[in-house]
Amino acid sequence: MITLKYFARLRDVAGKGEETLDREELTVSELLDWAEQTYPGFGADNVQVAVNEDYALKEDTIRSGDVCAFIPPVSGG
């Protein structure tokens, strides 16, 4: 089970702030593909993924128990 978090524009697109995904293991790249297919207009090309609160690379592996956040372009400050 992987926890997924959605923020800002992506929260609007997904219609939720958090959900769980019942997978044992997948790559960041595969997670982004899943999100793009699940939520029309997700715009995965411009989304980074944080795994357990650190930015992850596309080829990194996500495992059950991890907390993943979809990070659209930040605009703090």
Partner 1 sequence: MKPFEIVEEPIDVKQYMDYVLHPSAGAVTVFTGNVREWTHGVRTLYLSYEAYVPMAEKKMAEIGAEMEEKWPGVRVAIAHRIGELQISDIAVVIAVSSPHRKAAYEANEYAIDRIKEVVPIWKKEIWEDGEEWIGAQKKYPSKGVE
> Given the rule CB under 8 A, which residues bind partner 1?
5, 7-9, 11-12, 43, 46, 50, 53-55, 69, 71-77
Q: How far is the CB of 73 from partner 1 (least distance, A)?
A: 3
Element (H, E) at 61: strand 61-63
C-alpha to C-alpha distance for 49 and 35, rounded to whole angstroms = 11
Q: Which residue, 5 or 23, has its beta carbon nearer to partner 1? A: 5
C-alpha to C-alpha distance for 14 and 64, rounded to whole angstroms = 21
Q: Which residue, 24 or 58, has its beta carbon nearer to partner 1? A: 58
